[in-house]
Structure 1
């Protein structure tokens, strides 16, 4: 089985790689800095997987297309790489907003579109599919948060794109999945000064992500209580929602 994961050096991406690692599995892992992949690679090799790491920025469209086209058979591609800018006034300078959209939207498309092209040329696997593409969005996709507008909008864009594109790709034997996690414990969330309901470890998030993909869910969302809360808040009149969310303590900027 061939699996490709972007942003695999830490957090959910690294946990997904470790969870997928097994004898007979070939993992293609990327991160902007190849040296940061070393720990993930070692853990996956120890579990019996064959691992091909690469230092590559998802914003590099030509580089991503070449990498994916040369990977061989891919049964699952996970577009995981993403960034945030923290929350609060002043966190979204113009250049930061562009970086967020370039990584979280364009970077996802630079991963998913070549993967779909490659999968369309593959023979169906044992499950009858040519392949699966999972896009890591966020529960933030369902709330237009005024303290992190670019992040919320970028995650909403890829969530909606994946869910809509799945309807047509199914006809070619390719499935798409929009993965919308809540709070996951990472070096970034460790600096948050506000409550994070449903906070989970990366390993648990990876397990829930992969279980949802295996079950064929178009929208893989967790935890449910936070999802329900986000849908309620997202349904409020915009003025009410903004007034409520502007009272949340700011989040530190991403390093």
Structure 2
């Protein structure tokens, strides 16, 4: 019997992680799915099993390095991962009145989005180097390209993810390990539903999943969508700081509380 292709997806309870898991679910695939919400994670797993995939699930907070690292290593020993996708993330921002996020919310985003990505990727780096095979996928954001004044913690966390992924790619390429850095803009998920403000170039979850998986499947170095939004962010970053600040301040928004 041919071995199933083994894929790890975090954030599989909902949103992008769930969409990616469902996309890859097939009879020749073994999925290791991680999430924080037991009921929603099981719903994703059930859909993937119905598509023919073998599925194992882990209920973890990606910010907790030791338990998630042990579980990932255990699953990699059972079925070495061909692809590992770190899609878990949280968002917050300033209040509707413009009050700062505060230390708790700002650092929560860094712990989950940046350190959580590292907690998922790091246990697989040495095994993939030893196998001279594998692909790591990190999910950043267009917010990483130019910090947004109304979500400084989120912008910082995703800028860190982007830099981490770019560095890993250059480091691991000689060993035959691919790293794909995903830089998405706005797409239709529960996280985006909490965003109260402009959402330029908004796309559907299905479209975003399709674009990202095409990039993953060709082992692309970067997947950026939509490109026009990313170009706008990069242009604001290249301008004199005072001008860039004035532009990004114009896109005023707030993010309603939630995960």
TM range (shorter): over 0.9
How big is the shift at 1:173?
A: 1.2
Q: 1:6 aligns with which of 10, 13, 29?
A: 10
- Cα shift at 1:154: 1.1
- Residue by residue over 1:201-238, the C-alpha shift from the partner in whole angstroms, topping out at 9 and shown as x without a partner, is 21211111111122222111011111111111222222
CA separation in 1, counterparts of 2:65 and 2:216? 26
Match of 2:119 among 99, 110, 113: 110
How far off its partner does 1:155 sit? 0.6
Q: For the Cα contact (< 8 Å) 2:198–2:251, is it kept in 1? A: no
Distance 1:254 1:75, change over 3 A: farther
Partner SS state of residue 63, structure 2: coil
Is 2:81 the counterpart of 1:74?
yes
* Residue equivalent to 2:30: 26
Query: What residue is the counterpart of 1:147 in the other structure?
Result: 150
Matches within 5 A, 1:172-187: 172-187=175-190
Q: Over aligned residues, Cα RMSD in angstroms?
A: 1.5
Work out whether 1:94 is the aligned partner of 2:98.
no
Q: Distance in 1 between matches of 2:36 and 2:176?
A: 31
Q: Where in structure 2 are the equivalents of 1:121-200 lying within 5 Å?
A: 121-122=130-131, 130-200=133-203
- Cα shift readout 1:2-57 (whole Å, capped 9, x = no counterpart): 00011111111100000010111000001122222022111111111011111101
Query: Which consecutive unaligned segments of at least 5 residues does structure 2 have?
Result: none
* TM-score computed with the length of structure 2 as normaliser: 0.91
Work out whether residues 61 and 110 of structure 1, in 8 Å CA contact, stay in contact via their aligned partners in 2.
yes
- Equivalent residue of 1:29, what SS? strand
Aligned match of 2:206: 203
Other-structure match for 2:256 = 253
Partner of 2:234: 231
- 1:91 CA drift (Å): 4.8
TM-score (norm 1): 0.92
Consecutive unaligned residues of structure 1, counting only runs of 5 or more, are 125-129
Aligned length: 249
